Amino acid sequence: MTVFKPILTHSKLFSEVESDLYCPILEGCTVQELRTGEVVITPGVINRHIHLVLSGALTIHLGQQESPPVGQVGIGEIVGELSLIGHTVTSAWVVCAADSRLLVIDESRLWRLIDQSPLVARNLLQILTGWILAVDGHVLEQRKQIEMLQSLARIDALTGLFNRRWFDESLARMLALQHVAHPVTLILVDIDHFKKFNDTYGHPGGDQALRFLAKVLKSAVRLHDVAARYGGEEFALILPGTPLTSAVHVAERLRQAAMERPVETDDGQPLGAITISLGVAESIPHMTPEFLTRAADDKLYQAKREGRNRVCY
């Protein structure tokens, strides 16, 4: 162990530990020489050793060996301690990131070190804590990414409103929970002559019109309402616990707000104004989402037949 003494002295495991204590115990340990890409530890096996890096570097991978590393182990650091101490199977891949030399410390020697030096026990505890915190941080980051993807999966990218899938799920959920005294009211909204607007101002102008109407809808919704892009230039507003008369007032405010000012470009240049047609329908007990949507859609087409820019219910 004399040749490795400078590395061991600066190792986290033997920090502040007298070399006269650990060198005799480590005599006879195997030194592994591994090439870049060779696997040190595979998941799902019983582990009876820890590996201390004498030269080179290792990477740790969760899930698949080819997955991005969640940690790197450098000279003087160890791997394998978590599964050994916890008497659990290994949970990660440990791979050589460079040609490496590893000191293999078996379980019996590790326990002798711990028995003879409280400092080794303290150092090992600190190492274990560091890895646990690192893994927890990685899991938390993965959870944040999952939540972000879930959020993206329910949001329409162009308008920032909920998408059709979320609308369908929300309407079904709200109808299942509705009380006879608190109906669910649905408003379907369609931009009048949208194709003409799109042809006049191009697709960027049409996109601006859709964003503009989305802002109008957002300004009208309460925290528990759902405003969604239903498809194309058609939008939907679910108002739980709202009777028909109140929903009609909301629809009329939306209609007027859409006419108040023209659609603008991102830099504030005015385009043409739009009008909207709206159909409103109120649920009854045991009504299916399909039936309520069809009822609101019928009223929307009635508004279009009667000249557009109006609310029908």
Residue spans per domain, the chain: 2-149, 164-312
Question: Under the phi-then-psi rule, with left for phi > 0, alpha for psi from -120 to 50, and beta for the rest, what region is 37?
Answer: left
List the 311-312 sheet strands across, edge first.
Answer: 226-231, 234-240, 184-191, 276-282, 311-312
Predicted pLDDT at 3: 62
* Distance in angstroms (rounded) separating the CA atoms of residues 155 and 61: 32
Q: Are 91 and 139 in contact (CB under 8 A)?
A: no
Query: Would you tell me how many other CB atoms lie within 10 Å of the CB of residue 124?
Result: 19
- Which residue is associated with the tokens 């629809």? 251
* Distance in angstroms (rounded) separating the CA atoms of residues 268 and 282: 38
Helix 107-116 × helix 118-153 angle, to 10°: 120
Write out the H or E segment, with its range, that includes residue 305.
helix 289-305
List residues with catalytic annotation.
233
- Which residue is associated with the tokens 């007990």? 285
* Distance in angstroms (rounded) separating the CA atoms of residues 201 and 197: 6
Residue 21 burial (10 A CB sphere; 0-12, 13-18, 19+): middle
Predicted pLDDT at 55: 94
Q: Per-10-residue mean pLDDT for the chain, 313 residues long?
A: 74 88 89 94 90 94 85 90 84 93 92 88 83 62 60 80 92 84 91 94 94 93 92 95 95 95 89 96 93 97 97 98
- CA 155 to chain CA centroid, Å, is 13
Predicted pLDDT at 259: 93
Class of the 2-149 domain? mainly beta
- Does this model's pTM top 0.75? My answer is no
Predicted pLDDT at 181: 62
Which CATH architecture is the domain 164-312 placed in?
A: 2-Layer Sandwich (3.30)
Predicted pLDDT at 135: 60
Strand 71-73 with 78-79, pairing = unpaired
Query: Would you tell me how many other CB atoms lie within 10 Å of the CB of residue 221?
Result: 15
